[in-house]
Amino acid sequence: MSTRTPKTTFHPLPALVLAVLAVAAWAAWLGWDQHRDVHPDGSTTGPYEAWQVIGLVLTLLVAVYWTAARGHVLAAVTGISAGLTASAAYDWSDDSSGLFVVGVTLVLIGSLAVTTAVSFAVAALHGRLGDRRRGGGRTGA
């Protein structure tokens, strides 16, 4: 029986490529919008709109899917999480209250949790699909 399992060894090159991709995606989707919107009632929102964050998430989901489908689960988790965390730390570090550290920590925890779940689900799905294409993994007897 032949099964595809996620690679348990860490490969630095795919992780580095994904980290750079995450930084570039952050810059493309969120990096250009740095101003809060002031509404007529005096309340403020932003600096990011929902569509920007959704675009970032969907862009990175494609990268996680592609990497995890090839069995590089650890690279997907570490690369995306490192890139997002570094981007958030750089982008938010000008906050004079110091509370940006809380936000950066939440980005790290959230990205680790989501990329881990998505990566293992994709790797498991592709392992099963791979077995079906090869005749279910059974030999005739």
Q: How confident is the model over 61-104, as pLDDT tens digits?
A: 999 999 999 989 999 999 999 999 999 999 988 888 888 999 99
Bridge partner residues of 37 (DSSP): 45
Q: Is 139 inside a domain boundary?
A: no
Q: Return d(Cα 67, Cα 14) in angstroms, integer.
A: 8
The Cβ of residue 79 has, within 10 Å, a number of other Cβ atoms equal to: 28
Q: Is 138 inside a domain boundary?
A: no
Which of 1, 21, 45, 8 has the alpha carbon at shortest distance from 120? 8
Q: Is 7 inside a domain boundary?
A: no
Quick one: CA dihedral 82, 115, 21, 97, positive or negative? negative
Exposure of 121 in the CB half-sphere (CA atoms within 13 A): 9
Q: Is 80 inside a domain boundary?
A: yes
Number of structural domains found in the chain: 1
Q: Is 114 inside a domain boundary?
A: yes
Question: Is 60 exceeded by the pLDDT of residue 25?
Answer: yes
pLDDT at residue 49 in the model = 86
Q: What is the pTM for the complete model shown? A: 0.79
Q: Return d(Cα 3, Cα 85) in angstroms, integer.
A: 34
pLDDT at residue 43 in the model = 77
Q: Is 126 inside a domain boundary?
A: yes
pLDDT at residue 134 in the model = 47
**How do residues 33-51 score in pLDDT, each as one tens digit?**
777 777 788 777 668 888 9
Q: Is 29 inside a domain boundary?
A: yes
Range of the domain at 109: 12-133
- Confidence class for position 127, pLDDT limits 50, 70, 90: confident
pLDDT at residue 34 in the model = 73
Q: Is 95 inside a domain boundary?
A: yes
The Cβ of residue 83 has, within 10 Å, a number of other Cβ atoms equal to: 25
| pLDDT, averaged across the chain | 84
DSSP symbols for 55-66? HHHHHHHHHHHH
